[in-house]
Amino acid sequence: MARRPLPRILSTGSTQIARSRELARTATDSATDVLHPLIAITRGLRRLASAGRRRWTETPKDKRGPLLFLVASVVLVVALAPYGPLLAVITLMAAAAWHGRDRTPPAPEGPDESQTQRLKSLYEALVPSFSSAEDPAPLYGHGGEWEKAFPSYEFDATGRVTQLLIRYPAYFPDGEPEARTRIEQLLTAKSGRGREYHFAWDEEGNELTVTVLPPLPTDIAAQRFVTAPGETVLGFTDPLQVQRTLPLGYGEEQRDVPPVVWRTGIRSTEPHLLVMGQPGSGTSTLLRSVALQALQYGDVLVVEGGGTGEYACLAGRDGVLAVECGLSGALASLEWAATEVERRLITANQARQEGLLAPEDTRRPLWILVDRPSTFSHLAATDSRKDPQSLLQVPLRHGRAAGVTVVVAEQFDSADALSDAVRQHTRARVVLGPATGEQLEAVLGARPHTTPVAQVPPGRGYARLGGGPVHRLQVPATPDPYDDATSDAHRQAVLELLPPRTTPADGETVPVPTEAAVAETS
């Protein structure tokens, strides 16, 4: 994902601020080195004064008089003795310097015995992959020196590796995905399962950096994101390859989190999105999040094949054209969408030929959200009717020029039922839930630089926009507010983002549950 250029003033100001901070840090370090003896003596005097005050407090009141007389006698003798005051000051400064020394225990140099054993185990496991019989000076060999192969390493409190720099011979085929995958799987198994590792291959320097990634935050609720029109936040990722952050609210707190931003519109190279996942992985949550963001600037048409009422909260809202759960309604809505795309193209073309701006109704974004289209395909085949996916061909092929965006969500067990048009024109891809490396590569077109784990929270997965890098992804919590299992905080967050209800022309209200009724029943 490309970085958004900053204004010249902000860029220059950031550079000057960074330079000023570096100069201030350097000056502080220099002053600390010069004034270190004075700082130590001052710290020692403070500790001696505290010890004297504590001793005076602990002394019984009936013994404070003799103690005070003894101290006064010592002071008088020192004052009358030759060079007494000078010797007393020297003795006091020496005692203060001794008591004011840095008592922090030095950090242990090198790994301890258990850490050394773990590094040796990793080294021995890599020997078959990084060694060759023709190598005259092998870097890897059974019983060899692991210090040369692992120049840098870090451990956590439990003694497991958190970061490791690995050097490997130049003849290792690091350009082959199969060879890389074999090494990554081995390191994951030997370093500890249940964690996600990021692998950075430096093919030029023949080095591999293994880093343990912290878990992505799962407590980000649905909210208004600071984005421009045409930008949609799919979720949040690591700050490794994303150079942009968004201010997010965590209750009363606020943090900056790097997002995965999907750009749509006429100039987008990835105008349509495909979401794949397992049941319960959060695909419907992502579609609800996209719908809430799309309703700020455009209209939304929802076609749900699951039949579970996941999008009932959108029915009857401003900007929501329809929420279809049946085959007949889905066919009618998608036929209208295909006709609308053709109308927009014809109208915009006529306006350009006349040298005029395209009408507003052709420039307003239209979003088509289709959840589980394979269900409708099966029903249509059983009833000898048209496949709804065939009606998506026109919006997918010409949607970018007409301001129409298509989002399709499907499960892995029905991936074969997706049409060729959906596969070819959805260049933005998201995979949610547990998935194997083969499944990720089949959907995203490339394997991630991290190791997928078997147990992940809902809304957790990977995203790839076109030919860009594969990002870890955590979808913001956008549950169905009418679900009894939804927490009150998440329910209220979604209800606050919903547009107001649309009142029909005849004055009748839309027969859907109200927020008050939902709050009473929960």
CA–CA separation, 265 and 231 (whole Å): 9
Per DSSP, 241 falls in state S
**Residue 38 CB burial class (10 angstroms; 0-12, 13-18, ≥19):** exposed
- Kindly state the tokens that stand for 254: 């606020």
Query: Does residue 279 have a known ligand-binding role?
Result: yes
Q: Which two tokens stand for residue 475?
A: 């979808």
Write out the DSSP string of 406-438: EEEEEEGGGGGGS-HHHHHH--EEEEESS--HH
d(CA 394, CA 180): 40
**Residue 38: half-sphere exposure toward Cβ, Cα within 13 Å:** 5
Please give the C-alpha separations between residue 386 and each of 160, 182, 426, 502, 520, in angstroms, as whole numbers. Answer: 57, 46, 22, 31, 43
Q: For residue 271, what are the contacts with CB-CB under 8 A and spacing of at least 6?
A: 264, 265, 399, 400, 405, 406, 425, 427
Chain Cα centroid distance, residue 314: 28
Report the C-alpha gap between 184 and 451 in whole angstroms: 8
277 is in an annotated binding site: yes
Please name which of 179, 269, 219, 136 lies closest in space to residue 487, comparing C-alpha atoms: 219
The residues pairing with 463 across neighbouring beta strands, listed in sequence order, are 430, 471
Distance CA 428, CA 422 (A): 11
Query: Counting beta carbons within 10 angstroms of the beta carbon of residue 497, is it exposed (0 to 12), middle (13 to 18) or buried (19 or more)?
Result: buried
Residue in 197, 286, 228 with CA at minimum distance from that of residue 472: 197
Rg (C-alpha) for the chain, rounded Å, is 33
Q: Is 280 annotated as a binding residue?
A: yes
Q: Is 114 annotated as a binding residue?
A: no
- The answer to whether 522 is a known ligand-binding residue is no
CA distances 171 to 64, 138, 215, 341, Å, are 81, 11, 35, 54
User: Does 281 count as an annotated binding residue?
Assistant: yes
Give yes or no for a contact between 404 and 336, defined as CB atoms under 8 angstroms apart: no
Assign 90 to helix, strand or coil.
helix
The upper half-sphere exposure of residue 270, i.e. CA atoms within 13 Å in the direction of its Cβ, equals 21
SS3 143: coil
Angstrom distance (rounded) from CA 151 to CA 163: 11
Cα angle, residue 403 at apex, residues 398 and 408 outer, rounded to 5°: 70
Binding site members for ATP: 277-284
Specify binding-site residues: 277-284
